[in-house]
Amino acid sequence: MAKIGTAGNYGKEIRSDCKVTIELIKSGGLKIELISKVKEYFEDHIISLTKDELKFFGIKNAKIKIEDRGALDYVIAARIEAALKQLVDTGKEYLLSIIPENTNQTKRERFRRSRLYLPGNTPKLALNAGIHKPDGIILDLEDSVAPAKKAEAAILVRNTLRSVNFYGAERMVRINQLPQGLDDLELIVPHNVNLILVPKCETVEQIKKVDTKIRKLNKKNHKIWLMPIIESALGVINSFEIAKSDNVIALAIGLEDYTADLGTQRTAEGTETFFARSQIVNSARAAKIQPIDSVFSDVNDMEALKQNILISKSLGFDGMGCIHPRQIPLIHSGYAPNDVEIEKAQRIVNAYDDAKKKGLGVVSLGSKMIDAPVVKRAQQTLDKAKFGGSKQ
């Protein structure tokens, strides 16, 4: 085992984080050094938290240095635990109380127009992400986290799920590519995550492995949904079988890795990804789940984003990923139903209600028969218009 454990981040540009360095010693008790601009106000509290956590892990003799940049309790606790677990082999977890706002479950068919990606090891971005009103917030453990930081990121994400108010956004986590992602589940599943994104998914067997591990860990029987991300040619070919898997409620596509797999470049026109995007929509609709488009990576080109959303919606997608809060309002308005869609949906719902009042077993609109899925889809269109506004 290492002699010194270190976790977290510290520096001039760092906010809402801290760096914790722990050295185990043979005697002398706990020697805690705190470097912080708010030391005058919060030293006693931070020292008390540190002592309590070390006592929990059975540490009696150690030198601890905390270099603070405005970290909240859940961040400090995560950094201490991550540093300590580099020094001692323990399966214990130091858990702060979960806030009431983070105990809810989410519905299978809720709106998922926008999902905001946040690096899992950067706490400042998660603190107020919910105020931007994305439909989902993704705490990312995969591409946005350096390999050497993944273990401490998983502990921080666990604490974030328990301590940060998401303001109604669905609590999502993107795990690492399998098999590493299966280990991530141990720190995610027991802590009220709503949805898990499975990156670089290529086969139904991968989803089965994730689902099996979740069932073993999910002692509360909290409903946890899955969103596979299709990012390869093989994944596109197998997308329908993946979409039909248990607890899969949406199918997403990742175009950066997909185009790399094809050996081509992603373009603004998107001709190189037309087949894959259409296949994802078709597979999702056939499996009666939501098709979700890829992120748009140029956060400064809002006009290009607008055009991309128009194409995405025309292909049949229900939403897309985003990497900056400023993209959220445009995504919501772009995927909102237009006046023609609203009018058609209203006529379908009215026809259904009228037939129900008359006790008719068959619903028709003009010369066309209307079945239950069509009515359900129409009601969802009206709900989406009310929730997010319509567009011309």
Residues 221, 171, single domain; the answer is yes
**Measured between alpha carbons, how far is 309 from 277 in angstroms, rounded to an integer?**
13
Residue ranges of alpha helices (H) inside 249-300 are: 255-262, 274-286
Contact (Cβ atoms closer than 8 angstroms) between residue 221 and residue 252:
no
Residues 327, 350, single domain; the answer is no
94 within some domain: no
Residues 64, 134, single domain; the answer is no
Of 36-40, 121-125, 294-298, 388-392, minimum mean pLDDT range: 388-392
Higher-pLDDT residue of 303 and 378 is 303
* pLDDT tier for residue 362 given thresholds of 50, 70 and 90: low
**Measured between alpha carbons, how far is 292 from 224 in angstroms, rounded to an integer?**
18
Confidence at residue 347, expressed as pLDDT on a 0 to 100 scale: 83
Question: Is the pLDDT reported for residue 276 higher than 70?
Answer: yes
90 within some domain: no
Residues 40, 181, single domain; the answer is no
Whether omega before 291 lies within 30 degrees of 0, making that bond cis, reads: no
95 within some domain: no
306 within some domain: yes
Tell me, what CATH number does 76's domain have? 3.30.230
Tell me the three-class secondary structure of 13-60, residue by residue: CCCCEEEEEEEECCCCCEEEEEECCCHHHHHHHHHHHHHHHHHHCCCC
**Measured between alpha carbons, how far is 24 from 2 in angstroms, rounded to an integer?**
10
Question: Is the pLDDT reported for residue 352 higher than 80?
Answer: no
Residues 175, 311, single domain; the answer is yes
92 within some domain: no
Question: Is the pLDDT reported for residue 304 higher than 80?
Answer: yes
Residues 69, 214, single domain; the answer is no
329 within some domain: yes
Question: Is the pLDDT reported for residue 121 higher than 90?
Answer: yes
Confidence at residue 119, expressed as pLDDT on a 0 to 100 scale: 97
Confidence at residue 348, expressed as pLDDT on a 0 to 100 scale: 84
pLDDT in tens, 9-43: 999 999 999 999 999 999 999 999 999 999 999 99
**Measured between alpha carbons, how far is 187 from 213 in angstroms, rounded to an integer?**
12
* pLDDT tier for residue 341 given thresholds of 50, 70 and 90: confident
Confidence at residue 392, expressed as pLDDT on a 0 to 100 scale: 33
Phi, psi (rounded to 5 degrees) for 249 = -115, -5
Confidence at residue 293, expressed as pLDDT on a 0 to 100 scale: 97
Rg of the chain over all Cα atoms, to the nearest angstrom: 24
- Report the predicted TM-score, pTM, of the whole model to 2 decimal places: 0.90
Confidence at residue 368, expressed as pLDDT on a 0 to 100 scale: 73
55 within some domain: yes
Eight-class DSSP state of 96: P
Residues 212, 321, single domain; the answer is yes
What is the DSSP annotation of 355-375? HHHTT-S-EEETTEEE-HHHH
Q: Buried (b) or exposed (e) across 211-237, using 16+ Cβ within 10 A? A: bebbeeeeeeebebbbbbbbbbeebbe
Average pLDDT score over residue span 208-233: 96
Higher-pLDDT residue of 390 and 283 is 283
Average pLDDT score over residue span 254-280: 92
Of 67-81, 216-230, 337-351, minimum mean pLDDT range: 337-351
Confidence at residue 355, expressed as pLDDT on a 0 to 100 scale: 75
Residues 69, 147, single domain; the answer is no
Residues 326, 359, single domain; the answer is no
Residues 176, 123, single domain; the answer is yes
Tokens representing residue 286 in the block = 């056939």
Residues 150, 129, single domain; the answer is yes
User: Chain-centre distance of CA 389, in angstroms?
Assistant: 24
Per-chain mean pLDDT for the chain: 92
Average pLDDT score over residue span 50-73: 97
pLDDT more than 90, % of the chain: 81
Q: Residue 315's domain spans which residues?
A: 100-334
Residues 185, 110, single domain; the answer is yes
* Domains in the chain, number: 3
